[in-house]
Structure 1
């Protein structure tokens, strides 16, 4: 008899498994359809002996001291600040757009004050700001929008930015300083020995058992458990009763090149004519020394593993119908990016899982204290 059956061994499932096992002495079984732990953060050494991320680059960054300290129990860190260049007008220029970007594109020597006025002269003010197109035009205007955002967004989502929620392009700020870093979070680092090693340490507790290459549907009637934590697609759990929630997927083309480096930085974005959106070179991320290098091209596609929930009003309304079903069930928690249909970063999933654990801990304490079962379903809304 397991106390918890957890579906999925990515950040959401693994953090909760570790907390339940180590803090509450619960017996946990993790089930995953894939042949490895770690979810989309899984990394491994390719045939050339280069550490690569199987499901595209995962760059860890957070402003949460609690999240960083928690993960530090399971890994040492390699300090790493990610830099991204965009191929625009025959040049490789920094993205997010900053003072250096503008000066390189226009052959100028603007100061921060100059570039503020320049961008204000270009901006097309939108009220209210509702879509991804509105966000960018409101700040940088049509020319820079078309150079950096329109083509990339259309490839990534197969939708015009005017059809997407404002949150998509709002993730990429515009700066008036010379900070070329992609992220500005307080904590920026990569697991020193890789993500998979971190997950192995996280799941090493004797109370945690793992079944890989296993579909939940095939075994749920044959395993004794008290409660479920479900981190897979919420619509799939309910057999797509109201239809499928839309996702974007990616096809990855990995290549190993017989030279030290392929490009000047970790990731180069291609916002215009190329079919791929970006190329990532893993040695920048991992710090590995090797006489060859491995890169990955990313091609967004409609079908495949569900990576990116598509942020549109109608999709959120459909999710809410599934959430209502989830809220009506006892002894099951839906969490993670797929369980709550939200585009979370890794640190946000960890924070969500730590918050859900605290809720479960309180419920357990109440149950032990008064002898009554007072579970209420959490549908993942406990984001820290």
Structure 2
């Protein structure tokens, strides 16, 4: 008899499994239908010996000291600030998110102050009221031309929808800057796990109270391994047998390539916003990991309608459908739904960790521990 069955060995499942085992002394079975731990953050050494991410780049950043301190129990860190360039018309490479350098390079200008750049944006902005869609966000901030150059094609490829059809939250994730800060993220803590994500997950799950079974589906074990309570981190609609229909997700296809050269591109990620390029971005992992190697491995990302669920699609009708599943989830006893797929939210890694830690605190308040019962 296990005290807990945790379905999914990604951030949500691993963080909760470790807390339940180490803080409450409870027996936890962690399963994952994939053949590895770490979820989408799984990394591995490829055939050439280059450390790469099987499911595309995962770059850790957070403003939460609590989240950073928690994960620091299981990894040392390598400082890394991610930089992204976009390949636009005439093959120009310009910083993304848009900043002063972007504007100067695109328009052959020589702005030196934030005020000049803000005036440039304001002269082109077409504010919408109210702001509802992703198009409204960008056009209202920087105008239609920059929107067309950087956002429309990229978003249409990524989501299979025009930005005018997507909730404002999608493009709100990407800031627009008037200074020359060319970092993709501005969070207080920007690091990569020194020995990789998989090693961090291995240490997190390395506890005598935790049993891990990969290559294992929930349907195979739910009756075979008795358990008192359940943590579910998979798609919430799947848990309920798609009772109200499938929640829409966007998927990705990854084309990994090892090259007989030390470097391929000038930064960690190059974005390709043009619609006539079928992939959205190319990432070169050695920038992220700091690995020294004579070869390099890159990944091209091709968005797809079918495949593993990666991104919940933020549209009002999808949010309404999720609400129906959320009501079922709330009414399911001894079961906690955690993570991007289980709560149908476009969370970053640190947000999933924070949600898992918050869920653990709720469990502490609601469920007497095995220790307390002894």
TM range (shorter): over 0.9
Partner of 2:160: 158
What are the residue-to-residue correspondences of 1:203-282 with 2, within 5 Å?
A: 203-272=205-274, 273-282=276-285
Return 5+ residue gaps in structure 1 as ranges: 372-384
1:382 maps to none
Aligned residue in 2 for 1:137: 139
Please give the alpha-carbon distance, in whole angstroms, between the structure 2 residues aligned to 1:257 and 1:211: 34
Distance 1:57 1:186 in 2: 20
Residue in structure 1 matched with residue 73 of structure 2 by the alignment:
73
Counterpart in the other structure of 1:306:
309
Q: Does 1:192 align with 2:194?
A: yes
Structure-1 residue corresponding to 2:128: 126
1:264-343 pair list within 5 angstroms: 264-272=266-274, 273-343=276-346
- Alpha-carbon deviations, 1:220-243, whole Å to 9, x = none? 111110000000000001111111
- Listed one character per residue, the Cα deviations across residues 244-264 of structure 1 (whole Å, up to 9, x for unaligned) are 000000000000111110000
CA 1:21–1:299 in 2, change beyond 3 Å: closer, same or farther?
A: same
SS of the residue 1:211 aligns to: strand
2:37 corresponding residue in structure 1: 37
Correspondences of 1:16-35 after superposition (within 5 Å): 16-35=16-35
Is the partner of 1:218 in helix, strand or coil?
helix
Cα offset, 1:366, TM superposition: 9.1
| Paired residue secondary structure (1:235) | helix
- SS of equivalent residue, structure 2 residue 200: helix
1:338 partner SS: coil
Deviation of 1:68 (Å): 0.2
1:206 offset after TM fit, Å? 0.4
Deviations 1:308-355 (A, max 9, x none): 000000001111111111111110011100000000000000000000
User: Which stretches in structure 2 are left out of the alignment for 5+ residues?
Assistant: none
Cross-structure match for 2:103: 102
Contact 2:87–2:272 (CA under 8 A) maintained in structure 1: yes
3-state DSSP of counterpart to 1:318: helix
Q: 1:364 aligns with which of 362, 367, 370?
A: 367
2-structure distance, mates of 1:191, 1:368: 33
SS in 2 for 1:105: helix
Alpha-carbon distance, 1:113 to partner: 1.2
Distance 1:368 1:92 in 2: 58
Displacement, 1:295? 0.1
Q: CA 1:280–1:366 in structure 2 vs 1: closer, same or farther (change >3 Å)? A: closer
SS in structure 1 of the partner of residue 143 of structure 2 = helix
Q: How many angstroms does 1:204 deviate by? A: 0.4
SS in 1 for 2:243: coil
Partners of 1:325 and 1:354 in 2: CA distance: 23
With the length of structure 2 as denominator, give the TM-score of the two structures.
0.97
SS of equivalent to 1:29:
strand
Matches of 2:153 and 2:332, distance apart in 1: 43
Separation of aligned partners in 1, 2:73 and 2:150 = 39
Number of residue-to-residue matches in the alignment? 370
Aligned residue number for residue 381 of structure 1: none
2:25 and 2:371 in contact (8 A); partners too: no
Please report how far the alpha carbon of residue 362 of structure 1 lies from its aligned counterpart in structure 2 after TM superposition: 1.4
1:29-81 CA deviation, whole Å, 9 max, x = no partner?
00100000000000000000000000000000000000000000000000000
**Distance of aligned partners of 1:228 and 1:366 in 2 relative to their CA distance in 1, 3 Å threshold:** closer
Compute the displacement of 1:364 (Å). 2.8
Q: Deviations over 1:258-299 (max 9, x none)?
A: 111000000000000200000000000000000010000000
